[in-house]
Amino acid sequence: MNIDTKALGKVAVLMGGDSAEREVSLMSGGGVLAALQSQGVDAHAFDPSQRELVELKKEGFARCFIALHGRHGEDGTVQGALELLRIPYTGSGVMASAIAMDKVMTKRVWLAEGLPTPRYVTLRRDQLVRERVVAVPDELGLPLIVKPPHEGSSIGVTKVTGYSQMQDAVALAAQYDAEVLCEEFIEGDELTCPVLGEGDSARALPVIKIVAPEGAYDYQNKYFTDVTQYLVPSGLPAALEAEIQALVVRAYRTLGCRGWGRADLMLRASDQKPFLLEMNTSPGMTGHSLVPMSARAAGMSYEQLCVHLISHAALDH
């Protein structure tokens, strides 16, 4: 993979931003920036919450590495701005980013294509009355997961094991979103699988099995502790791993993703059936992050991964 890094031109690493995941984005962006610079790329940090995006054009940036997470970074808005500025960027385009950022919309698209995802109920702001909220476990069973459909990094997520917890769980998720997603809990192993490329050339990287303490793979355990175990190779039978990879690539293509992404799944213990939870179109690139870990298992270093992604920066049209 010999890429002429000088030919990539001046690169902006977009990081920080104003979402609930700003802290993680700064860690991701710092890692990407150092990696690109170490490979001879003319890369510079750029925080869209501190500066106007139009400055990218004025300062002659040739392409952008999007290391933003959450709103205004992963949801199609910054992608749309870069389309208008005609500056190629990493990751999915406007539509795929917008759909993938919305977990409910993602589920609708996947279900329309016959892809497996846990059963769910959505509650709008005007439906957060006690009678409606406590009826959800009757529909989905217990335990269940309550989360805001537009946040990442496990922010605002609760695993509900009894009726009495529903009200608090919904109230927490509603702090982050106008809509609350209640999802059937799939008992089994938590998996994640990255994808690189676009269309027919999209390929899955090795599957990672996540073993969190008491199954609490939350914000703290994702970024700030070392107690979570990540198994790569996953230890799954080869045929099952291949099946999961094929499912993830289908899920990625169905949403129209490009560049890179990472699907999160649950593998049901009772029958080893995989269920898609979500697609991340701007995955983390911190020291704890999963795409670099999976890429390493496939023989690609963090630095090579960063250069690969920026060299494939593109525009929708």
Region 2-16: what's the mean pLDDT?
A: 93
Model pLDDT for residues 192-213, shown as the tens digit of each residue: 999 999 999 999 999 999 998 7
- Local structure of residue 114 (DSSP, 8 states): T
Residue 193 counted as domain residue? yes
Quick one: 53 and 192 in the same domain? no
The residue among 168, 175, 177 whose CA lies nearest residue 105 is 177
Region 121-130: what's the mean pLDDT?
A: 92
Question: What CATH number is associated with residue 128?
Answer: 3.30.1490.20
Residue 317 counted as domain residue? no
- pLDDT for 28 equals 96
Quick one: 104 and 221 in the same domain? yes
- pLDDT for 243 equals 98
Preceding amide of 149 cis, omega within 30:
no
Does the pLDDT value for residue 21 go beyond 80?
yes
Domain tally, the chain: 3
Quick one: 22 and 69 in the same domain? yes
Lowest mean pLDDT of 98-102, 106-110, 138-142, 215-219, name the range: 215-219
Quick one: 205 and 156 in the same domain? no
Region 218-227: what's the mean pLDDT?
A: 60
- pLDDT for 152 equals 65
Does the pLDDT value for residue 216 go beyond 60?
no
Residue 286 counted as domain residue? yes
* Spatial contact of 115 and 275, defined as CB atoms under 8 Å apart: no
Quick one: 137 and 238 in the same domain? no
Residue type, 259: G
Q: What is the C-alpha separation between 302 and 32, in angstroms, rounded?
A: 8
Judged by DSSP in three states, 271 sits in coil
* Spatial contact of 147 and 103, defined as CB atoms under 8 Å apart: yes
Average pLDDT score, the chain: 93
Quick one: 107 and 242 in the same domain? yes
Q: What is the C-alpha separation between 90 and 26, in angstroms, rounded?
A: 17
* Domain span holding position 157: 120-184
Task: List residues bridging with 273 in a β-sheet.
Answer: none
Q: How many CA atoms lie within 13 A of 308 on its CB side?
A: 15
* Spatial contact of 185 and 124, defined as CB atoms under 8 Å apart: no
Does the pLDDT value for residue 144 go beyond 70?
yes
Quick one: 106 and 253 in the same domain? yes
User: Which of 133, 160, 184 is where one domain is finished?
Assistant: 184
Quick one: 126 and 79 in the same domain? no
Quick one: 144 and 171 in the same domain? yes
Residue 43 counted as domain residue? yes
Does the pLDDT value for residue 220 go beyond 90?
no
Q: What is the C-alpha separation between 206 and 149, in angstroms, rounded?
A: 27
- pLDDT for 225 equals 61
Model pLDDT for residues 253-279, shown as the tens digit of each residue: 999 999 999 999 999 999 999 999 999
Region 92-114: what's the mean pLDDT?
A: 97
- pLDDT for 137 equals 97
Q: What is the C-alpha separation between 73 and 281, in angstroms, rounded?
A: 10
Quick one: 158 and 192 in the same domain? no
How far is the CA of 226 from the CAs of 24, 73, 219, 223, in angstroms?
Answer: 16, 27, 12, 8
The angle that helices 302-311 and 290-297 make with each other, rounded to 10 degrees, is 100
Give the catalytic positions in this structure. Answer: 21, 153, 223, 262, 264, 278, 280, 284
- pLDDT band at 70, cuts 50/70/90? confident
User: Which of 184, 208, 224 is where one domain is finished?
Assistant: 184
Quick one: 143 and 108 in the same domain? no
Quick one: 124 and 234 in the same domain? no
- pLDDT for 71 equals 84
- pLDDT band at 227, cuts 50/70/90? confident
The residue among 46, 44, 48 whose CA lies nearest residue 71 is 48
Judged by DSSP in three states, 160 sits in strand
Tokens 């949403």 belong to 255
Question: What CATH number is associated with residue 53?
Answer: 3.40.50.20
